[in-house]
Amino acid sequence: MTESAYPPISDQLADLESAQEEGRRKMDWAAQHMPILEHVREEFVAEQPFAGERIAMAMHVEAKTAILVETLAEGGAEVAITGCNPLSTHDDVSAALDTHENITSYAKRGVDGEAYYDAIEAVIAHEPTITVDDGMDLVAAIHEDYPELIDGIIGGAEETTTGVHRLRAMDADGALEYPVFAVNDTPMKRLFDNVHGTGESSLASIAMTTNLSWASKNVVVSGFGYCGKGVAKKAAGQNANVIVTEVEPRRALEAHMEGYDVMPMAEAAEIGDVFLTTTGNRDVIVEEHFEKMQDGVLLANAGHFDIEIDLDALDDLAVDRYEARDGVDAYELEDGRRLNVVAEGRLVNLAAPVSLGHPVEVMDQSFGVQAACVRELVENGDAYGAGVHDVPDELDKEIAEIKLEAEGVAFDSLTDTQRDYMDSWDHGT
């Protein structure tokens, strides 16, 4: 294998030193609020679990991810990293990473398609023993173009839903040749990311985009899964009057029992002030609903894709459309009503101009699981066959323990007597 000629970021930047400094500053901010990775890093530094390993990464190279990268490097790994999206890289963070003796960073913002793939190849040229992906770029490139490396690879980890989805398809076709952990869907992630992360950051993004307040607003939350529960709870916590729409009767009943108003969207459309979709499904708010809405309503989406609000239909209905504010498109209807779409109906806690992506603490948890998965691969990789694997329950639990310890929260453990009692009960008489 020929070493790639694609240069690391340090060879590409003009004012390198100031970039490194600025990147380090951003990383310092994140690191202060990532107690799980801090704890994990201390362990890794002491135990050097990755000594001799080469980790290839393709992820969003910004401050939060950078702390994960450093954490792995401090654990003894030689890390090569590039971006997973040409627009999400922060050059300064990339440069700061590249100063670490164990890290080579090829990520650069705004590169063209060719350079993007050159950088991926440059990462692969390090002959990784482990891959960490955010969208399966590395897994795909290795399987297609560098199959000779597969024998040397212990396994990988994949961060995103979509990546996991594609990996499962690959797995189903028998084409996935090493084990990959599906980091996305652990219980801990749902709790942090969906309930608290999505809940809080969606509402704050909308408030800071619109200059409006929540108190007394009729907030229509579509979907009462984890995200919907989070949004509903946090909106009620800001003194909104929450209305829930659902298609699953037990979730509808759960919302009703919490004291929320539950009704069909056709009814909610008439009284809602703000609409927030969290269903993961398409066409949740459609033409018949737009027709009933009040002047001045806000429409936003906290689900993954921008398909929950039927903007095509809204566009057809509208006689005018203009940017009412930075991050808000007003659709004016024939009768003069204005329906205001926030962040183009895309994931509002990421896509609104003022949004900062997931809160630091959320990524700390998610990356904590990543780090634990990488360690699991090194220590017990043999136990996992080629294919997609759920994160072992024990790892998820361990991250919870680390978070609690890092925050100084102690809790009880079962005594032997209690353990015996539970066992006897579980196993029957």
Per the annotation, binding residues are: 134, 159-162, 189, 193-194, 223-230, 246, 281, 302-304, 349, 358
Which residue, 2 or 413, is less far from a copy of itself as judged by CB? Answer: 413
- Span of 6-14, 39-47, 100-108, 416-424 interacting with a copy of itself by CB under 8 A: 416-424
Where do the DSSP E strands lie in 205-342?
A: 218-222, 241-245, 261-262, 274-277, 298-301, 320-325, 328-332, 338-342
> Which residue's structure tokens are 């309503």?
297
Decide if residue 411 touches a copy of itself (CB under 8 A): yes
Q: How far is the CB of 423 from a copy of itself (least distance, A)?
A: 11
Contact 10, 119 (CB under 8 A): no
Which residue, 121 or 292, is less far from a copy of itself as judged by CB? Answer: 292
Binders of a copy of itself in range 28-47 (CB under 8 A): 28-29, 32-33
Six token digits for residue 313: 């239909």
| Binding flags for a copy of itself, 62-91, as an x/- string (CB under 8 A) | ------------------------------
Q: How far is the CB of 219 from a copy of itself (least distance, A)?
A: 9
Decide if residue 319 touches a copy of itself (CB under 8 A): no
Q: Where are the alpha helices (DSSP H) in 125-272?
A: 137-145, 161-172, 187-189, 199-210, 226-236, 249-257, 265-271
Binders of a copy of itself in range 200-239 (CB under 8 A): 200-201, 203-205, 207-208, 211-216, 233-234, 236-239
Q: How far is the CB of 66 from a copy of itself (least distance, A)?
A: 14
Contact 276, 302 (CB under 8 A): yes
Q: How far is the CB of 298 from a copy of itself (least distance, A)?
A: 10
Which residue, 79 or 221, is less far from a copy of itself as judged by CB? Answer: 221
- Cα 343 from Cα 121, distance rounded (Å): 34
- Cα 375 from Cα 399, distance rounded (Å): 13
| Binding flags for a copy of itself, 344-383, as an x/- string (CB under 8 A) | ----------xxxx-xxxx---------------------
Residue 334 burial (CB < 10 Å; 0-12/13-18/19+)? exposed
Q: How far is the CB of 123 from a copy of itself (least distance, A)?
A: 26
Contact 281, 308 (CB under 8 A): yes
Tell me if residue 199 falls in helix, strand or coil.
helix
Find, among 139, 159, 133, the residue nearest to 58 by Cα: 133
Six token digits for residue 372: 């634990």
| Site size with a copy of itself, rule: CB under 8 A | 104
Which residue, 127 or 398, is less far from a copy of itself as judged by CB? Answer: 398
Six token digits for residue 69: 């990268």
Among 282, 333, 381, 386, binds a copy of itself (CB under 8 A): 282
Decide if residue 125 touches a copy of itself (CB under 8 A): no
Q: How far is the CB of 383 from a copy of itself (least distance, A)?
A: 23
- Cα 166 from Cα 161, distance rounded (Å): 9
